[in-house]
Amino acid sequence: MFSKSCEYAIRAVVFVATQNNAGNKLGIMEICKEIDAPQHFTAKILQSLSHNGIISSQKGPSGGFYLNKTQTRLKLIDVVRALDGDKTFTGCGLGLKNCSEKKQCPIHNQFKVVRDELLNMLSNTYVVQLAEEIEKGSAVLSNISGR
């Protein structure tokens, strides 16, 4: 459903949120290791997220990525829209350009339900909620963390 960029973005933002209460600013290498993502690709994603106000960054020896007070109230929909726009919620399940209510693909109606449910879930889930799940140990962000 999401682009690979968006998947890494969600994982990165959630991981940054797990470290935010402690006041930690995270470097790119630490983020990539924790979310099991390639460094160069993730660096570009984090730069885009920072440019779009989803996360903050600070340069220098004590710098890194973090969430400011406003960003701690972000919902998953904000992250998805920053990377993938609204195409996830409007596109055809088969990738057809001309699929519409009038000219439907074979899975149009079923896929529309899935898209609407996804939009609802993303619109009602805060990034910090997911970070709390990680902190409690009831969820993980990668296969390598062992959490």
Residue 18 lies in a domain: yes
Residue 95 lies in a domain: no
Percent of the chain with pLDDT over 70: 97
pLDDT in tens, 114-137: 999 999 999 999 999 999 999 898
Residue 13 lies in a domain: yes
Predicted confidence (pLDDT) at residue 145 exceeds the cutoff of 60: no
Name the maximum alpha-carbon separation found in the chain. Answer: 57
User: Which CATH number fits the domain that encloses residue 18?
Assistant: 1.10.10.10
Predicted confidence (pLDDT) at residue 85 exceeds the cutoff of 50: yes
Residue 43 lies in a domain: yes
Residue 11 lies in a domain: yes
Mean pLDDT for 106-116 is 95
Residue 47 lies in a domain: yes
Number of domains in the chain: 1
Residue 26 lies in a domain: yes
Predicted confidence (pLDDT) at residue 147 exceeds the cutoff of 60: no
* Res 61: pLDDT: 84
| CA-closest candidate to residue 20, choices 134, 145, 137 | 134
Residues 6+ apart with CB under 8 A from 17: 67, 72, 127, 128, 130, 131
pLDDT in tens, 2-22: 899 999 999 999 999 999 878
Mean pLDDT for 77-101 is 91
Predicted confidence (pLDDT) at residue 144 exceeds the cutoff of 50: no
77 and 66 in contact (C-beta within 8 Å)?
no
pLDDT in tens, 32-55: 999 999 999 999 999 999 999 999
What domain range is 31 assigned to? 4-85+126-136
Residue 121 lies in a domain: no
